Amino acid sequence: MSPYTRLEAAFARAAILNETLGVLHWDTETMMPKGAIAGRSDQLATLEEMSHEIIAAPRVGEMLAEAEEGAAGLTEWQAANLREMRRAHVRAVAIPADLLVAATKANAVCQHVWQEARPANDFAAVKPHLAEVIRLQRAVGAALGASLDLSPYDALLDQYDPGARQDSIDALFAPLRAALPELIRAVVEKQRAAPAPEPLPKPFPVAAQQALCRMLLDTIGFDFDHGRLDVSAHPFSGGSFGDIRVTTRYSEDVLFPALFATIHEGGHALYEQGRPAAWRHQPVGLAKGMAVHESQSMIIEWQAGKSAEFLGFLFPKIREAFGGDGPAWSDGNLMALARRVEPGLIRVDADELTYPAHILVRFGIERALIAGELAVDDLPAAFNEAVAGLLGVTVPDDRRGCLQDIHWHGGAYGYFPMYLVGAMTAAQLFAAAVEADPALRPALAEGDFRPLVAWLRTHIHSRGSAVDRETLVCDATGAPTGADRFLTHLRARYLDS
């Protein structure tokens, strides 16, 4: 066996361990009895350690050097895979195994405590666990940063979007910071000038919501032979390549959040189900970072899912599911409700225009937490102040404030900016897809996502991590990620329509 072939075998073993971790993480959030968290955290940490040991092994470093010397004989995909192997090895070597184990255990415990603390509005219960998670994430960032010559937060960002840096993200977000306040004001004024939408009569039975959500996943092309839909405290998509686990959450008081959360997570799942099967256990076969991943969820949820064409298909299904009749259930009223722009408290329920402000709040706060500029004791007040400043709303309690998201409690520092980079990328990709295939929008009016998904399979899903994010986006759209298409989309949908 050549050095490269031996490397493929080693990385395949690590990938299978990571797939097992994916299913265990899903079980932790959906099925695990609450008394099992101590044992589960040990299981997760042990598997993380085993995967880490494989990738960080000195022999892997030696094989990488040997394979790189003979790289001229590799195919284009093999060469890209070797590059991604080197990236993974460098980062694995930088993080001591005992630190990885400690962080994995702390994340699992804190996330489990958060599941009960959030509905109970009990920040005090989760605070000591959150402080430990942050302490360990600072250590992870410092270890990675020392190896990569990056600040701790930049090193954490780089884990979620290779090459991402605070300065580049700030520059990418700057046009949105400048344009969105006036755009939101103009859209809200336009809404106020029209009759207020009529609220839908409650309740919305969970069983009917579940049936609709399953229908929606089937409509966008989710493969139920290799995946499933369940319930969790925070919607997510996980599992493994051939076993994608989508979750959502339901409330009988509201209708649209569960539906759009489901197709959001379904977009993630489509990406995972469309990755190159021949490379499923190799680094080059992985998704190209979380900014691209979020673009795939948001192109399904926002660009296609909230298009006039698809909503026209969806509304009769909603009326049928809930026996809706009368003015409140009309297409016009449902459209006004589905596209209502209103600054609110909950990020995952936010409309397209105010959603960026939620991300800007979290981006600023998590940087301060990792830099040690914000103490955990001061997190609720800092969060509430930032929300009031950027969204103009008062946070009444921690449940709807700093406790609402799972990310910080699960150790995902550096993730939040990827949502907004993903939203910007999604607008750019959708515009390119529509330009390439004029039949795409009419197909959505029939509930047919096949033209869109086929375009994404070709330009995004099937390419795995063969190229960097900007090359991927440029190849698909003709330009690097920017704010122009996103702002054009928002103006066209909410002001010009």
3-state SS class at 1:
coil
Residue 162 belongs to some domain of the structure: no
Is pTM, for the whole model, over 0.85?
A: yes
Residue 176 belongs to some domain of the structure: yes
Q: Give yes or no: residues 24 and 146 share one domain.
A: yes
Residue 161 belongs to some domain of the structure: no
Tell me what pLDDT residue 190 has: 96
Q: Give yes or no: residues 322 and 445 share one domain.
A: yes
What is d(CA 333, CA 197) in angstroms, rounded to the nearest whole number? Answer: 6
Residue 7 belongs to some domain of the structure: yes
Total number of domains constituting the chain = 2
CATH of the domain at 292: 1.10.1370.30
Residue 322 belongs to some domain of the structure: yes
Q: Tens digit of pLDDT for each residue in 400-424?
A: 999 999 999 999 999 999 999 999 9
Q: Give yes or no: residues 286 and 354 share one domain.
A: yes
Name the one residue in this structure whose structure tokens are 């009031």: 388
Residue of 265, 272, 294, 352 with catalytic role: 265
Last residue of a domain, one of 151, 186, 216: 151
Tell me what pLDDT residue 316 has: 98
Q: 497 pLDDT exceeds 90?
A: no
Residue 128 belongs to some domain of the structure: yes
Q: 66 pLDDT exceeds 90?
A: yes
Q: Mean pLDDT across the stretch 125-129?
A: 98
- Asked if 184 and 353 count as a contact pair (C-beta separation under 8 A), the reply is yes
Q: Mean pLDDT across the stretch 61-83?
A: 97
Name the one residue in this structure whose structure tokens are 């910080």: 408
Q: Tens digit of pLDDT for each residue in 261-304?
A: 999 999 999 999 999 999 999 999 999 999 999 999 999 999 99
Q: Give yes or no: residues 144 and 264 share one domain.
A: no
Band of pLDDT at residue 241, cut at 50, 70 and 90: confident
Residue 273 belongs to some domain of the structure: yes
Q: 45 pLDDT exceeds 90?
A: yes
Band of pLDDT at residue 1, cut at 50, 70 and 90: confident
Give one word for 121, left, alpha or beta, with left for phi > 0 and alpha for psi -120 to 50. left
Residue 39: count of CB within 10 angstroms of its CB: 10
- Provide CB contacts within 8 A for 45, sequence distance 6+: 100, 101, 102, 104, 105, 108
Q: Give yes or no: residues 80 and 202 share one domain.
A: no
Q: Tens digit of pLDDT for each residue in 442-495?
A: 999 999 999 999 999 999 999 999 999 999 999 999 999 999 999 999 999 999
DSSP calls for 5-69: HHHHHHHHHHHHHHHHHHHHHHHHHHT--GGGHHHHHHHHHHHHHHHHHHHH-HHHHHHHHHHHH
What is d(CA 389, CA 403) in angstroms, rounded to the nearest whole number? Answer: 19
Residue 76: count of CB within 10 angstroms of its CB: 9
Q: Tens digit of pLDDT for each residue in 153-179?
A: 999 999 999 999 999 999 999 999 999
Q: Give yes or no: residues 28 and 99 share one domain.
A: yes
Q: Give yes or no: residues 81 and 194 share one domain.
A: no
- Provide CB contacts within 8 A for 53, sequence distance 6+: 97
Q: Give yes or no: residues 107 and 224 share one domain.
A: no
Share of the chain above pLDDT 70, in %: 100
Q: Give yes or no: residues 133 and 183 share one domain.
A: no
What is d(CA 170, CA 97) in angstroms, rounded to the nearest whole number? Answer: 33
Q: Give yes or no: residues 142 and 249 share one domain.
A: no
Tell me what pLDDT residue 493 has: 96
Q: Give yes or no: residues 227 and 121 share one domain.
A: no
Expressed as residue numbers, the domain containing 10 is: 3-151
In what helix (H) or strand (E) does residue 247 lie, and over which residues does it extend?
Answer: strand 243-248
Residue 156 belongs to some domain of the structure: no
The reply to whether 265 belongs to the active site is: yes
Tell me what pLDDT residue 93 has: 98
Strand partners, 231: 248
Q: Mean pLDDT across the stretch 147-153?
A: 97
Q: Mean pLDDT across the stretch 367-389?
A: 98
Q: Mean pLDDT across the stretch 122-137?
A: 98
- Of the candidates 337, 345, 336, 350, the one whose C-alpha atom is nearest the C-alpha of residue 202 is 337
Average model confidence (pLDDT) across the chain:
97
Q: Give yes or no: residues 134 and 259 share one domain.
A: no
Task: Work out the widest C-alpha separation in the chain, in whole angstroms.
Answer: 72
